[in-house]
Structures are given as structure tokens and as C-alpha cells.
Structure 1
Amino acid sequence: MLLALPFNALQGEKSELNEAFNTVFSTRPSIMTVFLKTLMGRLSFLIPAEGDKATHKARATMDRIGNQLLNESKAALAGASKGNDERLRKRDLLSLLLKANMSTDVPENQRMSDQDVLAQVPTFLVAGHETTSTGTTWALYALSLRPDIQSKLREELYTISTDNPSMDELNALPYLDATVRETLRVHSPVPSTMRVAVKDDVIPVGTPFVDRMGRVRDSIPVQKGQKLLIPILVINRATEIWGPDAREFKPERWESVPEGASAVPGVWGNLLTFLGGPRACIGYRFSLVEMKALLFTLIRAFEFKLAVSPDEIGQKTGMVQRPILINNLKAGVQMPLLVTPYVHIL
């Protein structure tokens, strides 16, 4: 069978691929390590990052399984093309990528290598699952701390008569939209990312500053190959943009977006959550609708309360910022919530 790789996640069985993904996402180097490696340039290998050994082992596992799937898919498509087999109509991600890449309409110099094709799969897995599920978790956390906001949202959700709303119906709910926007502002699932300059350039700054040589600067020179940290969460919570209550969860703020937010170069919502430019998140529209659909179903059916003190909830930042219990770090990623059925009275 094409792409026959059992995960058995719902049965509680271990999957080496799932464990490899968890390792990669939970062993991100600290900001200080990244800073030192950047300063060291070509000698950065002398500074070991936290979890390097485990990460390399996990990546080797991902590469091995990925290449297995790639080879199976290519072989199946090659065989199917000779006999117009049903497998040519398969629409899993890897098959679609391979068929598009093998198309006679694509010039040879524009085709992706096998490794480029394979690299797209974990990208879609992370962007399509990990970030959305984590964002929804933080939304439930924020709503648990503000039962008034949770009730207001629930009232709006019950203005829809069906349990299975269309995408247009979900997008027509203003307070649901504001709740999602505020969650992705205050609790950005991906708090930061990196970029590498492909050429020398200059970054203008809004407020001139004095450098360590005593010179007044109105821009920052960037050299080709230099690594840049994109502080997504810092910008989303900046008091200079959102005011003194920038760290508060307040969906009502979206009724009147601050003028300064228009300068944020994000692809969506006056935020940097999905980044911007040609490398912005390709699936952000789907992610937004998915998150709205999850909240629509959950908030209509249940009431959520935090099962521990808010002070006990912390963040563990790998590639994605996940919730943890500060007093029980060994328990891993978790968000203890008290969930009770909600009975809607007409």
C-alpha cells in the first residue's frame, strides 16, 4: 500500500517518527547559544547546543523514514503511470508534490530535488498541526482566565443554528474572529524564527540610536550570510504599538486597531504571527478557519476553567511555545483544565 506507515497514535503505541518530531521541537537552543554561534561564524561548531546529540539522532530517523516514503511513492507513481492506475489519483501531500514535480510542464531546471520535496512534508505537518493545536490550547487557557469573555463568545456562537457551520458562517462571527486574533497576538504559537541574509542590505529603524562607538544611527547594516532573529512575540506584545495593556488578553481591542499596528509587516491581522513577505505562512487561512471551527465546537459544548493556579502555568519554547506546569516540569507539556458540559437553554 502506498505510504503504508502505521502511527497508532490513538492506541497509545509509541511511534519512532512521533518521538523524533517531539525531540526536534523540544530541543531548541537558547537565545544566548544562538547569539554566540552567530558571533563565532564558521567556528560556531565549537559551541555545542543543548540537545545536539538527540536532535541529530531524531533528524536521522526522520530522514530515514522520509526517504522510505519518498521511494515507495515514486515507485508507485511510476508503475501507475504505465497503466493509468488508481494510485495516480491519490491526493496525499507527498503524492501531489511528486506528481507536480514530475509534470512535463515543469522545466528541468525548475524541478525540486528529492530532498527539497521531502523537506516540504515536515513543514506542512508542523504548520498544519502543531501550531494550530497549540494556538487552540492557549485560546482555551485565555478563555479559562476570563469567564466573562468565554460567556460573551458562547453567546455569539449560539447565534448560528447549526452544529456544522460553513467557513463563511465562521468568518462572519466578529467576536470569534477577535478572540482568535487576540490569542495569536498574546500567545503566538511560534514566538520567534530566524532568517539568513542573502545579500548585503540596510535595515532602517524607526527611532535613531547611539551605537557602542558613540555614533547616531538611523539604520542597521546587514551582511550577506548574517543570521537575523525575528522576535514575533515581542513585536506582537509591544506596548509602543498596542498600548500599556499589550500583554492583556482583550478581544475588544480589535474593534479599534491602533494606528501603529498598520506598520507591522505581517501578512495577516496587523501581526507578525504568520510572518510576511514571500516566505509568509502558506497555510495561514486554513489555520485560522481550523482554529475557529475547533473553538466553535468546544465553547458551545463545554465550559472551561483552569484546574491549577495561573502562576503554575509556564511556557516551554522549542520550535513552538507549549504550556507546562512550573511545579512539575517532568510531566511534560500539558494544560490542566476543568471541563464541564454546557447546556444551552433556548
Structure 2
Amino acid sequence: MEWCCRLVLPLLFSAGIFCFGFSQDLKPVAQKVADQKSKNRSFVKFSPFTKDVASKNARIYQNEAADVTVMQLKTQELKTIVTEKPEAMELTFPFEGRELTVELVRNNILTPDFQVDTDKGVKAYTPGVYYQGIVKGDNSSVVAFSFFDNDVVGIASSLNIGNVVLGKTKNSSDFVSYNDQKLKEKNAFTCGAEELPENAGKKITFDPNKKQSKLTASCVRIYFEIGYGPYTQNGSNVTSATNWLTALFNNIKTLYDNESVNIALSSTFVWTTVDPYSGQPGAILNQFRTTRTTFNGDLAQLIRNPATTSVAYVNALCGIYKYSYCGVNNQNIAVPTYSWNIEAMTHELGHNLGSPHTHACAWNGNNTAIDGC
């Protein structure tokens, strides 16, 4: 799936969220799966979902996403995954009248000093179990799954299939899988980075022949601040809100891993009362920058409702403007829309890391665009 507003990270060949560059060489995530196989690692088989053909809510979900599959969770299988934390697994789930199988390896997404804070103090948190991998038989695909005590969040992206979203529905124990291209509600995400005066005149030299071939050992640490809206959206529960965030970040990290950019989640702050930010996106970003003057991380991103314009400072990693703001989807429909939020969050971090839009006249050493996307 190719998004309208693409980004190119400096010195990287492929560009954009859920967009892949292909060659005979394996991309880093597929290589991790291949490495486990070369070590004769056992991929433990799991099928934690059964198709629910008699769901009373099926019509509701079908009105929101065509060809959606309703599923019920096998709680014992989930408990086994969370408890045993296998290094590698093969997971199968129902999707559009067939079974889709993904091959997954453990993914460490948190820094050793990761901590959850709130406006009322530090909150103890037990992380989920996080995996990345591929659709079985498709080395050009990319997959990320996160497992918690009572929840599973997964996205499998492939040129042949699209973005397959798996998650729990709103106000129900039902799980669904669906292709996000078949959502009937439109994604409200837009990026306003070019409207910021701080980004005016930012140029970049991009040479596609200078592809970085190795995943750098250096790690960009990301601090996230969860606004009051997403907190209430997650049942006014700090653990649920943090699970939601880490599941999103697992996907974000997997996308960046696949482009040889190493990132990790270093700290999270959750507003359990009304947060202090208001106004237009650019104003909110400036308020965030001047309010959160110190944080545990290299980049800071504020996420809050509603899902409108998101915005970030460009090429800000080593300066005072290392901030971004994302208006995330407040899910007023029943089916989960994780991929929309992942798109916005990954996109704005890409700006912080140095990338303008590919349609910006800021590239190629002569201030021209890469494309018209």
C-alpha cells in the first residue's frame, strides 16, 4: 500500500510507510526470520483464533470494513504465548475465507530504563511480548504482532494482500481481521510540516546509490506523551493505554528496522487528567516543545485526539526542535484502526529524523522534488 504523502529517510533507498524497496537481498526483518531458520530454531505453531460464523455483531463490522472476519480468542493459547515467550513462532489466523500464516521472531522494543509516568507519578508496568516477521512465503512482506494478557494486536503488510489489521473490536470481546483498504471510513490524516516557519528552507541531499547496508548499532530513543483523549479511549486505564502505545510502537519500530534505522521506546507519560494542550496543530506542537523541555529520549512525540493534521519539525534530532505531534484516531467505529495511527506516528518521526516530503523541492542537491506523491 502506498500512502499519498511519502517520506524518504536520508541515505535510505526505499521510502514511506508500508512502502517497500525490493531486491534479491533480504530486507532486515525477513533476514531475522531467515537467521532463526539457519540456526534450526523451532518456530512454535500457534492458532489463537477461531472464526466466529454466528457473531451477532458481524453486520456492524461489515458496515465498517468489507470482507471483515470475526474471530474469537483462544485464551489458553494467548496465555501460553505471554508466559513462554518463544523466540520464534508460526501464527495462523482466519482472514477473508482462508488461513493466513505469519512467521515471527521476538522483538525488543524498549530501552532497559523504560518507565511509565503519569501526571500523578510513576506507574508500574509489565510489558507485553512483541514480535516482528513476515507473511510465510513472502520475504518482501513485513509483520508485527504484540501480545498482552487479554489482547492481541497485529498488522501484516504485503504487496499481494495489502495491510491486514488484526485486533479487538470496540466494546466487545470479538476480534477481527480485515484489509484496511476496505475500510469504508476514510483516514483523516494529513501532515502540516510544510506550514511550520521553522521548517522553511530545509533542504536535503539524497543519493539513492548511498544505501546503508547494515543496521546501525546506534539507537534513537523515543519518548511518547499520551494525551487525555487516548487515555479515556483506552478505558481510562494507564496499563491499557500503554499497551495500546507499545503495540503501535512495535509496528513503527519494525518499519524502521526494515529500513536499517534502530529506534527504541525509552519513556512514556500518560495524562490521566485533561492535558494542557489546545489550539491548532502547530500551536499544540509549540506548546508541547515549551512545556516538555526535558524528557528521557532523543525525540519526543505527543499523541492525542482528534485525528486531524499532524505536524513535526524537520531534521530535528540534534537540536532544540526534536518534537512532533500526532492527532490519532479516536476510533468512533467498532473495528480497530491501528494502521491509521501507525501511518501518522511513523510519518512525523521521519520528519524529525531529517526527511521532508518527497514532493518537496528540497532534494537531489538542486532543490527539486523526487516525485509528485
TM-score (norm 1): 0.27
* Pair member with larger Rg: 1
**The structure with more strand, counted as a fraction of residues:** 2
**The structure with more helix, counted as a fraction of residues:** 1
Using CA pairs under 8 Å that are at least 6 residues apart, name the structure with larger relative contact order, 1 or 2. 2
TM-score (norm 2): 0.26
